[in-house]
């Protein structure tokens, strides 16, 4: 590991969501990541897990000496952890009391599961009319596929992203991360929850936020839907290229560094042509207009590849910077740990975990000038806060807590 990265965003100052209480009963990433975002900005997120086993995310990814993975330490941060068996009568009774004290409930079980347990929307809103319920599932709460299981990889395929990922004529590949749909659904879920909370504040009525994993991906695939509807065009795999602009891709320098370069307008290409020492290519030249460059894609890309491949990385970046050409490195995580921009922005938190010691986590996003995201603690041990929540929030006596433990409810 590199030298220590300066800690940023660590604190307990009042934040935008201070006073908002969230019950996170979801598993893995999609639903819980919404809770993670809210926790970064001050919400009291109570992570409810099954006694004994806990959230499977604890065992997903690279393990640490405390028994939980790095994924857990990162994505369960700022959450209080309690165990509760919602399927037992005793646990169900406690859960109803928690719902009465909550502003938000997050779940991502297969549709119908909550109803089977007696915790559908009608039942929960009767307990707490202002409750906002985030429901993330593979295909959403409605439609002919609503009851089918699914994970992020399935969502990437169903939404159309995997079809676009890879080289022409080659098999589809993983689009960067197998968890992308989970994380994006958590982000969209947080957006929906915040809007629903705003509405609940003004009307006194909560509502359901319903997201299918695939929808979070499909919504971000730029113009493929309207272009297909208008022209019947099916976008195919293009590797690092994009359909509408050229050059816009990845190239390798003489010293073996990969870079990304983007020319999304005629003006940008003119700057690139000057940087390349080939100004005659732009303007009234053979590739001065976007349509000309798209038609001559192979020739343009070959010219750029030749220019980039004849230069070392540092010289290339300097040339692009001088001429205002958008260009940057294709970083590995090792590169990121050494990059001064990541350091200056505080994009990584170097913190002490009470169970394993030093750990580096990605910082919360976005940066707010007055109330930035903050890390209070990393993901905690299974059931670490059960007694405190039952005692302080629900005002249960020690004998009542002991009875719940004896019944296996916590």
Averaged pLDDT, groups of 10, the chain, 410 residues long: 41 83 97 98 98 97 97 98 98 98 98 97 98 98 97 97 96 92 98 98 98 98 97 97 96 98 96 98 97 98 98 98 98 97 97 97 96 97 98 98 98
Query: Are the beta carbons of 368 and 377 closer than 8 angstroms?
Result: no
From 24, 68, 85, 182, active-site residue: 182
Distance, CA of 40 to CA of 191 (rounded, Å): 14
- Spatial CB neighbours of 383, under 8 Å, sequence gap ≥ 6: 49, 51, 54, 81, 82, 83, 410
**Cis status, amide bond into 301, omega within 30 of 0:** no
Report DSSP state, residue 364.
P
Tokens of 206: 């909560």
State the pLDDT at residue 351: 96
State the pLDDT at residue 6: 37
182 is annotated as an active-site residue = yes
Report DSSP state, residue 223.
T
Tokens of 160: 């159309």
State the pLDDT at residue 277: 97
Distance, CA of 210 to CA of 108 (rounded, Å): 10
- Label each residue of 112-157 as H, E or C: CHHHHCCCCHHHHHHHCCCCEEEEEECCCCCCCCCCCCCCHHHHHH
Query: Are the beta carbons of 380 and 63 closer than 8 angstroms?
Result: no
Query: Are the beta carbons of 278 and 253 closer than 8 angstroms?
Result: no
Tokens of 117: 């347990």
- Spatial CB neighbours of 256, under 8 Å, sequence gap ≥ 6: none
Domains for the chain: give ranges and CATH numbers.
Answer: 21-220+346-406 (3.40.50.10540), 248-330 (3.30.1540.10)
State the pLDDT at residue 322: 98
Task: Note the pTM of the prediction, 2 decimals.
Answer: 0.94
Q: How many residues does the chain have?
A: 410
Alpha carbon separation from 327 to 272, 322, 345 (Å, rounded): 10, 11, 19
Query: Are the beta carbons of 304 and 275 closer than 8 angstroms?
Result: no
Dihedral through CA 62, CA 68, CA 72, CA 76, nearest 10?
-170
SS3 content of the chain, % helix, strand, coil (to 5): 40, 15, 45
């Amino acid at each position: 590991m590199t030298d220590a990265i300066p800690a940023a965003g660590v604190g307990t100052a009042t934040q935008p969501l201070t006073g908002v209480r969230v019950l996170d009963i979801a598993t893995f990433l999609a639903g819980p990541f919404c809770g993670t975002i809210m926790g970064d900005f001050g919400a009291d997120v109570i992570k409810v897990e099954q006694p004994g086993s806990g959230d499977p995310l604890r065992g997903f990814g690279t393990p640490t000496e405390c028994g939980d993975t790095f994924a857990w330490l990162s994505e369960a941060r700022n959450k209080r952890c309690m165990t509760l068996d919602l399927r037992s009568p005793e646990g169900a009774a406690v859960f109803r009391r928690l719902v009465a004290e909550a502003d938000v409930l997050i779940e991502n079980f297969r549709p119908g599961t909550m109803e089977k347990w007696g915790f559908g929307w009608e039942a929960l809103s009767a307990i707490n009319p202002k409750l906002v319920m985030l429901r993330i599932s593979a295909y959403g709460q409605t439609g002919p596929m609503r009851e089918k299981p699914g994970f992020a990889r399935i969502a990437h395929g169903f939404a159309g992203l995997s079809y676009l990922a890879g080289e022409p004529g080659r098999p589809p590949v993983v689009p960067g991360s197998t968890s992308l749909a989970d994380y994006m659904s958590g982000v969209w879920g947080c957006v929906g929850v915040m809007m629903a909370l705003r509405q609940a504040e003004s009307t006194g009525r909560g509502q359901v936020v319903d997201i299918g994993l695939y929808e979070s991906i499909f919504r971000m695939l730029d113009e493929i839907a309207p272009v297909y509807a208008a022209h019947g065009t099916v976008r195919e795999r293009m590797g690092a290229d994009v359909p509408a602009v050229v050059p816009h891709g990845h190239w390798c320098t003489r010293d073996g560094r990969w870079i990304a370069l983007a020319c999304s307008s005629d003006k940008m290409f003119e700057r690139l042509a000057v940087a390349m020492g080939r100004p005659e290519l732009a303007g009234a030249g053979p590739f001065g207009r976007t349509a000309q460059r798209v038609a001559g894609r192979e020739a343009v890309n070959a010219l750029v590849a030749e220019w980039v491949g004849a230069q070392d990385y540092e010289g290339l970046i300097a040339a692009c910077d001088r001429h205002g050409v958008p260009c940057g490195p294709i970083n590995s995580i090792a590169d990121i740990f050494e990059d001064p921009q990541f350091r200056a922005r505080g994009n990584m938190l170097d913190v002490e975990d009470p169970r394993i010691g030093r750990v580096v986590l990605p910082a919360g996003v976005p940066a707010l000038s007055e109330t930035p995201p903050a890390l209070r603690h990393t993901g905690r041990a299974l059931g670490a806060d059960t007694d405190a929540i039952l005692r302080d929030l629900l005002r249960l006596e020690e004998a009542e807590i002991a009875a719940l433990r004896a019944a296996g409810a916590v």
